[in-house]
Amino acid sequence: MMKVVAEDPGLFYQHYPRVAAVVTVNSEGRKNALPIAWHCSISFKPTIYGIAVSPKRFSYNMILQSKKFAINFLPYEKIELIAALGGCSGGFTDKFTEFNLAEDEALKLDVPILKDAYAAYECAVIDSRVFGDHAWIAGEVKAVHVAEELLQDNGVLSLDLVRPALYLGGDTYCSTDQDTVKHLDRDQAGRGK
């Protein structure tokens, strides 16, 4: 495989695909929904989840002001909704009305939980730091919403039952293929045993 080596990262899509998610926030009675691809778990104890949000986004100040957010994981069947939510600003559009976003009730925090999400986390902001053109916002997970019927006995999503929406970059989406799922014993994998 021939590789190009350069200092310029180009479009910076080499680390994709990533699970597409929708961050929701409620600040002073106003709700918004923002699709993101840059997010991950940070800690098990306490349970901390991080999201990267551009300070230019309308949701950024809402999150800092309210000190809370939810992250919602939607199935592949909702990619058009995810893309549409990213195609307009919450500063000019009430996305919950425009896209008829149905909600489940939050358990601990006053944050919107999307009914279409197969999983969602209610997060209380514990830190926010700007790095380059994005802020990394860390939130302690205060409640988890999950459709348990979509999980295997080991807590892993059953890809026979749900296909996560994956973002490839450049407004391109895909999903998973159950035929490619393989559980590996990390003590044995790659050792020829």
Beta bridge partners of 119: 73, 146
pLDDT at residue 3 in the model: 75
Q: What is the pLDDT of residues 8-30, one digit of tens each?
A: 777 777 778 899 999 999 999 99
Taken in order 108, 124, 150, 76, the sign of the CA dihedral is positive
182 vs 150, residue with greater confidence: 150
Q: Nearest 5°: CA angle at 59, between 85 and 8?
A: 80
Round the CA-based radius of gyration of the chain to a whole number and report it: 18
**In whole angstroms, what is the distance from residue 169 CA to residue 35 CA?**
13
Q: For 18-180, CATH number?
A: 2.30.110.10
pLDDT band, residue 177 (cuts 50/70/90) = confident
What does the block give as tokens for 168?
């490839």
Tokens coding 7:
């200092």
Q: Who's near 159: CB < 8 A, 6+ residues apart?
A: 176, 177, 178, 181
pLDDT value at 193 more than 70:
no
Peptide bond preceding 17 in cis form (omega within 30 of 0): yes
pLDDT in tens, 38-58: 999 999 999 999 999 999 999
Average pLDDT over residues 100-110: 97
Q: Which helix (H) or strand (E) holds 114?
A: strand 113-114
* Global confidence as pTM: 0.91
Tell me what percent of the residues of the chain surpass a pLDDT of 90.
Answer: 78
**Residue 131, pLDDT above cutoff 90:** yes
Q: Identify the pLDDT of residue 15.
A: 77
How much is the average pLDDT of 69-90?
Answer: 95
Dig out the tokens for 181 from the structure: 């799922």
Calculate the CA dihedral of residues 145, 76, 161, 108 and round it to 10 degrees: 0
Give the pLDDT confidence score for residue 141 in this predicted structure: 98
Tokens of 119: 């999983």
